Chain A
């Protein structure tokens, strides 16, 4: 589904990612693990076209989307839940979702399906997004991305700063998406959260590929997490 082929990307000419490669299949959750500054968020932004690719290719269903203008990338079917939620402040919940729906021309039925996943948002449709609680904002950020009906879902630290009940709600949605055939690429700092949902884990170290392993194998060998993430 999504394949990164030896990509280089970074900021202002500096390369944060160097020859980084990764595969995410449909119906699979791949977690990207690494220390702060390893290049996890850079990888997400590069996939979304928000940072220019300096080398390599980003393939989606066999098509190179790495050179598309950034606003065409979501239309190809990639939904993005950024770190820190980054909702459209000043817009209501309904308007944030409308922008998600508009990206790929999704209709009212999609909105209803998404709201069934996050019923709490249904009660808050007219409320300005910035007045929601942290957990509700994360729900909205996730719901906004799901409104695209994505083939690939990128989630950058979706459980950051959330209480356990919210983390569980987000986790359930991620698993549901995987079961519905969506390819999920998840960046997460919390190893327990990773191990509870991931099918495979890819380590990233200073912008380069580390090991890629099945989540079951990681559960048995916690030493490797210590090596790459330092926890």
Chain B
């Protein structure tokens, strides 16, 4: 394959990574932005989403689309509920103290991971995609007869991968609309701006926190359900999304949702392209280097503002 089609192929792979990463990282960013809690267990909520998706899809049976559709609804709801319960029973008791909640979420990470190992086991298990037709992609290139559109061998994607990108974009649009256009979004933004003043104006901040923690985890779970037909569900799969989400959130600006999405696209695309041309390890090294540069030259991230 020529270089151009090869880059297009890598970009498409990167776009799928970016879409899933954006969903996961927006959840992390939302939690930090509103609650000022650094949720180290975020990757485990992602992992739980994938594992529950496998469980739901296998329990329901029937055509793959039915099991997958059920997983798409059930996994984020279950994970969101678990996260909200963890918020009310653990983080609330710690009064959302930034340092102690880091330690607590590290503990939560291991509890969720080991419980999954005990119940789900160590095996990686796939979930069948609801549809997965291969699509050959056209390319315009110079041939002996001039410029022509043709279908290079190997330049293809699947309908499912395109659907993942579309679904992630739709969900991110929904999150934006919730924050910008709804009453609950207004209460979340007010709580983010000033917790004490939110209380002084009757906002039940603890309920808002539980909801935000649940939504953040639910987004991670949703991302996992979308990716699990491409990757596989495994009890250790939370580490990479956690690392990449932190990279994205730091580059985008802690608590900035637009910054998080832009950074996810940047990191996802570069990860896809570098992984295809060189190696996934090099992609991670460069992303980590980028975080270092951002921290040195723009500590609040590309879109972040100074924390109050």
Contact = CB atoms under 8 A, between A and B. Distances in A.
Contacts of B199: 48-50, 70-71
A119 interface: no
Contact of B194 (A72, A86, A100, A103): A86
B201 interface: yes
B186 A99 contact: yes
Contact of A99 (B196, B203, B204): B203
A95 B200 contact: no
B200 A90 contact: no
B193 A103 contact: no
Contact of B201 (A45, A69, A74, A89): A74
B189 A103 contact: no
A118 to B, nearest CB: 17
Contacts of A82: 197, 200
A104 interface: yes
A99 B205 CA distance: 13
A102 B202 CA distance: 8
A52 to B, nearest CB: 11
A88 interface: yes
Interface in B173-216: 183, 186-187, 189-190, 192-194, 196-205
A138 to B, nearest CB: 15
Interface of A: 45, 48-50, 69-75, 80, 82, 86-91, 95, 98-100, 102-104, 144, 148
Given A75-B202, A95-B190, 12 more contacts: A50-B200, A71-B204, A73-B200, A88-B190, A88-B197, A88-B198, A90-B192, A95-B186, A99-B201, A103-B201, A104-B202, A144-B201
A110 B190 CA distance: 21
Q: For the complex of A and B, list the 9 residue pairs with the smallest distance between their C-beta atoms, beginning with the closest.
A: A103-B202, A70-B199, A88-B193, A74-B202, A88-B190, A80-B200, A103-B201, A71-B204, A86-B197
Nearest to A147: B201
Contacts of B187: 99
A39 B103 CA distance: 35
A89 B193 contact: yes
A50 B196 contact: yes
B163 to A, nearest CB: 34
B193 A91 contact: yes
A50 to B, nearest CB: 5
A16 to B, nearest CB: 16
9 contacts: A45-B196, A48-B199, A49-B199, A71-B203, A74-B201, A86-B194, A90-B189, A99-B186, A99-B190
B186 A98 contact: yes
Q: Which of B193, B196, B200, B205: most chain A Cβ within 10 A?
A: B200
A148 B200 CA distance: 11
Interface centre among A69, A72, A102 (most CB of B within 10 A): A102
A74 B200 contact: yes
B111 to A, nearest CB: 29
Contacts of B189: 88, 90-91, 95
Nearest to B203: A71
Contacts of A87: 193, 197
Contacts of A86: 194, 196-197
Contacts of A148: 201-202
Report which residue of A72, A88, A148 has the largest number of chain B beta carbons within 10 angstroms of its beta carbon.
Answer: A88
Nearest to A74: B202
Contacts of A104: 202
